[in-house]
Amino acid sequence: MVLNALSAALAWIVHNRALDSWAMLIVGIFAVCNALAGSWLVWRLLRDEPPSRAIN
């Protein structure tokens, strides 16, 4: 949920604010990092791992 909110906030900033080149670069880096983090979390969630056995 936090990554979705961050994505919406970044999109709103880009569409509604006049930003200079450095600000656009920073927002772009945050957006790419947000997309990568979200993709990694989905991959971890959907990855099929065998259940580990507890050895006593």
37 within some domain? yes
36 within domain boundaries = yes
Per-block mean pLDDT, blocks of 10 residues, the chain (56 long): 78 84 88 88 83 68
Residue 30: which domain range?
19-43
For position 38, what pLDDT does the model report?
87
What is the tally of structural domains in the chain?
A: 1
pLDDT at 30: 86
The answer to whether position 6 is within a domain reads no
- Are 27 and 14 contacting, i.e. CB atoms less than 8 angstroms apart? yes
Domain membership of residue 7 (yes or no) is no
Phi and psi at residue 55, in whole multiples of 5°?
-105, 120
Q: Is residue 33 part of a domain?
A: yes
- Cα gap 17→35, rounded to integer Å: 21
pTM (predicted TM-score): 0.65
pLDDT at site 1: 67
Residue 34 counted as domain residue:
yes
Instruction: Classify residue 25: in a domain, yes or no.
Output: yes
